[in-house]
Structure 1
C-alpha cells in the first residue's frame, strides 16, 4: 500500500497507509507529451497471454524512434502499450505473457524494464495506524472560542478553527499571512488520493485546469476525475490540500499558504491505497507540463518500501519515477516528499524491510540504503521531510537520519499534547464532504513544507528549484539535538532529527 505519509503508517511514510491494489486497464493512449507509437495510430495488442495481466514500465533512450521501436517490441512480446512518455523514454505496457520483462530488457535501446506490481488487480481497505479523528464542528468551534478568550480575543484575520491549529503557529504561518499569503500564480499539486475541490475551505483556491487523475499512467482531465474514489476512505489528499492552502475566508481552518493555488493529481487505485509507478510518472510529467510550481508527495511508490538497484524489476521502478521527477525539476518544479513513518534511521548501514511487497505476500529482507531507495523521497533533488510534534520534538513514528532529512515540520504526535482544550496533538485540516479531522504522520508534515516552498516561490518567482531549497534550509530554525535523545546525531545546524531545521513561514516571506 502506498503509505500515505499522513498517519503513522505500516510502512512508515508519515502518510496514511492505503491498501493493496493492482492493475487498472487503460484502453487509450495519452495525449501530449505522450505519443501514439505508430504512424498509423495505436499499436494493436497481441493475443491474450496465459498469465495474469500486470503493468510494466519499459525505460529506453528518449526519442521518437526509440519509442516506436519499444512499441513494436512490446507487441511482439505479447503486450500492449498504454502510454509512452517520449521525452523521458518511459513506456507503460500491460501484458500477461510469461517472461515479458526479460524479453523487453533484451530489446536494443531498453535500459530497464519491470513489473510495477507483484499481483493483478485486487481491492482492499485502508490500514492506517492512526484513523482520522473527525471533529464535531459545534464542539470544535466552542473549543476555539475558549482559546480566543484565554488569549484575550480573536486575532485579526484568524479563521474559526485556527486557535486549534498549533501547527500553523509553530512555523509562524499565522504571522506570515499578515505579510504575504502567497501568489495566485503559484500552484502546489497534491499527488495523492484525490482532493475534494467542493470543500468550502478549498474551492476558492482549487485549480481544475492543473488537475487530473493519473491512475493507470494516463492523465484523465475530465471534470471531477481528480476527486477521491470514495470520500469515506480516500480522505488523505483532501487533508493534505487543506494544510497547504485552505483559504482565509472566515470558514474552518487556515492553510500555510492561503493565497496560492492547489491542484489534485490522483494516483491511488480504486478501492485501495496503492500508488504504482506508472501513475506517479504520469503525475510528475503532468505537473511539469501544466505550470505547477511545487508537488507534495506524502506516499511511497508501491509495492516496495525500498527499490533496490540490484533487482532488475525494482531498478525499473526507480528509473521510471526518477526520470519523471527529474523532468519536473528541469521544468522548475520543487518536489517535496515525506520521510516515512517507520521510526527508521535512514542513515543506518542496513535497514530491515518486512512490509514488501505490499500488494501480495510480504517477505523480510535486509536492504543497503546506498543502493535501495524509498521512492520518491530519496530521489536526488527531492526535499525530504521529517515530522515533529506539538512540543517541537521528533514525532515518535518519524523516520530520521543524518544526511537523509532535509527539513522538519509539524506532523503531529499523540504523545506530545498541546495546551489546548481539544487536547489533541495531531494536525487539524480539511476532509471530504466539508468536514474536518485530526491526522498525524510525515504525510501531515510534508504539506507544511510544500506550503512554505510555495511562499518562497511567490517571493522569488525566478529562482531555480535548487535556489528555493537553499532558501528553505537557510531560513529553517534548528533547535539542536535533545540532550535526552541518543538517536539524534549531528550539530545545532544540521542533525538527524530536523535536518537543517523546522521550516519557518515568516522568514520565507520577509527575507
Structure 2
C-alpha cells in the first residue's frame, strides 16, 4: 500500500483499503483535508462523543427521539459512519479535518421516519452543508399513509436543497441486493404481491444515492442498486470465497470506528486493536459517508478557490465527473456515474 502522502503505516491504517481507494492512496489529502467552516450532518444512531478519533471534529449532538435526551450511540452505527467521514487519530476518514454534527434518530433498533424528516429540516436550518443518511425504509406507492410519508420526505429534502445543502443517501443493504428503481419488481422481492415498492430516501430526487462496492471494485452482493444510484463507493465484504466456501478474508472487510463503551469483538481484540475499532462486512451505510465527506471537501475547495459556495448541482457534477469505472465497466445500474475518486474530483475545480 502506497501511503507516500502521509505517514500512516500503523496497525490500524493498513486495513483501511477503502479509504485508500477513494482518496487515491491519500493523495487527495495533499489538496484538501477540510476544516470546520464546512459541516456534515450525520442523521443516525448517535455518536460516541468521547471517541479519540472523532471528538475534535464533533461540533454538536442532538436527539430527535421523543422523550429521550440521550445522545449515546448504543448501536454503534452512527459512530461507524462518522469515522468514514472525519476520523482523525489511529484511523483517518476521507475528510479528517471536516466538522461533523450528530442528529440521533434511533431509539434502540427503531427509527421513525418522522424523526428522520424532522432531523433533515433541523440540519438544513442549522446551515449544514451536507446531510448524510445511512438509513432507509421501504414503503408502498399504493398505501395512503406511505404516500403521505413519501411527500413529507420529498418536502424535507427539497427544503434542504433550497438551503444549498447536499443530501446523500445509502441505496440500502440486504442479504441480497435489490433493484430499487423498479417499483413492481421491488415489491415482489419484498414479498408483496400486487404492490409497488419504493425505498426512502434513496429513490427520491434531489438525493445523491450511493451503492456499495467491494475491494475488487465489483458491486457488493448485499448492495441495492438501480437507476436511482448516482455514484458508488467502496465498503467491503467477506471476500471472494465467502459465497461458495464460507471462508471470510479479513483483508476484504472494513475497519471502522466503534463506540469505546461497547464490548469489543474477539476478532478486533485478537489483532491487538484498542477498544473503539471493529471489522465489519461493510454495507451501503459505510459507502454513503465517504461520498458525504467528498462533497464537503469539494464545497470547501470550491469556496477557497472562488470565494463562494458551489450549488448542489455543481457538487454533484464534480463528484460524478471525477468517478472511475467499476469492475463491470460503466454500468449505471450498479455504479451510477462510477466509483468515487476524491482526488479526481478535487482536481476538476479550477479547470
Distance in 2 between the 1:479 and 1:242 partners? 24
Q: Which residue of 1 aligns with 2:123?
A: 287
Alpha-carbon distance, 1:183 to partner? 2.8
Aligned residue number for residue 164 of structure 1: 15
Instruction: Tell me by how many angstroms 1:328 deviates.
Output: 1.0
- Return closer, same or farther for 1:465/1:258 CA change in 2, 3 Å cut-off: same
Within a 5 Å distance, the mapping from 1:128-139 to structure 2 comes to none
Cα deviations by residue, 1:411-458 (Å, 9 ceiling, x for unpaired): 1111248xxxx7331221110015101221111111111111111111
**What's the TM-score once normalised by structure 1's chain length?**
0.58
Picking from 329, 336, 348, the partner of 1:499 is 336
Secondary structure in 2 matching 1:202: coil
Separation of aligned partners in 1, 2:117 and 2:180: 24
Find the aligned partners of 2:112 and 2:183 in 1 and give their Cα distance. Answer: 27
Structure 2: where are the runs of 5+ without partners? Answer: 242-248, 261-274, 304-308
| Contact 1:456–1:509 (CA under 8 A) maintained in structure 2 | yes
**Cα separation, 1, equivalents of 2:225 and 2:39:** 29
Matches within 5 A, 1:292-331: 292-301=128-137, 305-308=138-141, 310-331=142-163
How far off its partner does 1:325 sit?
1.4
Per-residue CA distance 1:52-108 (angstroms, 9 max, x = gap): xxxxxxxxxxxxxxxxxxxxxxxxxxxxxxxxxxxxxxxxxxxxxxxxxxxxxxxxx
1:478-489 map, 5 Å: 478-479=325-326, 481=328
> 2:239 aligned to 410, 415, 420, which one?
415
Q: Deviations over 1:33-62 (max 9, x none)?
A: xxxxxxxxxxxxxxxxxxxxxxxxxxxxxx
Q: 1:457 to 1:366 in 2, by over 3 A?
A: farther
How far the C-alpha of 1:354 sits from its partner, in A, is 7.6
Matched, 1:473 2:301: no
Aligned partners of 1:319, 1:382: CA distance in 2, in Å? 14
CA contact (8 A) 1:275 1:300 kept: no
Q: Is the 8 A contact 1:389 1:413 kept in 2?
A: yes
The gaps in structure 1 that reach 5 residues or longer are 1-146, 357-362, 483-491
The more displaced of 319-328 and 385-394 is 319-328
For the pair shown, which has the larger CA radius of gyration, 1 or 2?
A: 1
1:241 paired residue number: 82
CA distance in 2, matches of 1:273, 1:452: 28
SS, match of residue 46 in structure 2 = coil
* TM-score, length basis structure 2: 0.83
Correspondence for 1:126: none
- Give the deviation of 1:465 after TM superposition: 1.0
Q: Secondary structure at the match of 2:204?
A: coil
- Rounded to whole Å, the distance in 2 between the matches of 1:159 and 1:435 is 19
Taking the aligned partners of 1:347 and 1:480, their CA distance within structure 2 comes to 21
Q: Which protein has the bigger helix share?
A: 2
Aligned residue for 2:225, secondary structure, equals coil
Which residue does 1:263 correspond to in 2? 101
